[in-house]
Amino acid sequence: MESEEGVTKIIRNKQVILRDYVSGFPKESDMQVVSSGTIKLKLPEGCEGVLVKNFYLSCDPYVKGRMTKRDPGSRYLDSFNPGSRISRYGVGKVWESGDPKFKEGDLVWGITGWEEYSLITGTATQSLFKIHNTHDVPLLLYWNSWYFPEGIDIYFDNVGGKMLDAVLLNMKMNGRIAACGMISQYNLEQPEGVHNLLSLIMKQVQLKGFLVFNYYHLYGKFLETVLPAIKEGKRTYVEDVADAC
């Protein structure tokens, strides 16, 4: 759909809406694609935000966390409201900017909406980063990643549950565990629990939780390290991309 209001285009803005809170494994029917919405391809007068055309949207475990009903304030981010559009990292192009850090045509990544165009305003613009792509890697990379006969020095945990239990038994003395996520637990009615915590004491292992929001300032450094390694084939990555149009 496309119409003109003065010289400002109003176009269709397809969105993915959360129908209702999710318990257990998320189903397609928990969400609804709504094609009736529209957006003005013009920033509101005086707006210091950024209007972005989205190219890629991330569908990952974080989204499930916010689809679940939780008491307000009990987590670092509240649940989505049923009936509202889902938000998460995306990669897109700046359509219009009222923020001096961005200009029309810039490629950006950051928190955006599951929709064709997003108006990103207020503190949300702080999570928006300009993509310089000097390493010429696929754009979708920007929204995002044995056996140990001698034991494990450092474990970056994204799985939790049985995996974490197995790792705990195989940690080296004075090893370290960075707890980032526990995806094996998110869709269970009752968490499985971790049984081998005694290893933390016996092997003097440190386990610490991390939240990405506290490390955004290191993102540039991360790209400087990882992108050349990908280009040189020293690191590989796997992405599962679905076409939504």
Ligand X SMILES: NC(=O)c1ccc[n+]([C@@H]2O[C@H](COP(=O)([O-])OP(=O)(O)OC[C@H]3O[C@@H](n4cnc5c(N)ncnc54)[C@H](OP(=O)(O)O)[C@@H]3O)[C@@H](O)[C@H]2O)c1
Residues that bind ligand X (CB under 6 A): 60-62, 145, 158-159, 180-184, 210-212
Nearer to ligand X, 41 or 183 (CB): 183
Distances (CA, A) of 68 to 19, 72, 87: 12, 11, 14
Nearer to ligand X, 26 or 228 (CB): 26
Cα separation of 85 and 78, whole Å? 14
Q: Which structure tokens are listed for 156?
A: 């970056």
Return the sign of the alpha-carbon dihedral for residues 109, 111, 113, 118.
Answer: negative
Of 52, 191, 69, the residue nearest 127 (C-alpha): 52
Residue 116 amino acid letter? E
Taking the complex as a whole, the smallest distance from the CB of residue 61 to ligand X amounts, in Å, to 4
Taking the complex as a whole, the smallest distance from the CB of residue 151 to ligand X amounts, in Å, to 21
Taking the complex as a whole, the smallest distance from the CB of residue 42 to ligand X amounts, in Å, to 33
Rounded to the nearest angstrom, the gap between the alpha carbon of residue 82 and the centroid of all alpha carbons in its chain is: 20
Taking the complex as a whole, the smallest distance from the CB of residue 12 to ligand X amounts, in Å, to 28
Cα separation of 67 and 184, whole Å? 16
Nearer to ligand X, 43 or 86 (CB): 86
Taking the complex as a whole, the smallest distance from the CB of residue 62 to ligand X amounts, in Å, to 5
Residue facing ligand X at closest CB distance? 181
Burial class (CB in 10 A: 0-12, 13-18, 19+), 187: middle
Nearer to ligand X, 49 or 181 (CB): 181
Nearer to ligand X, 210 or 219 (CB): 210
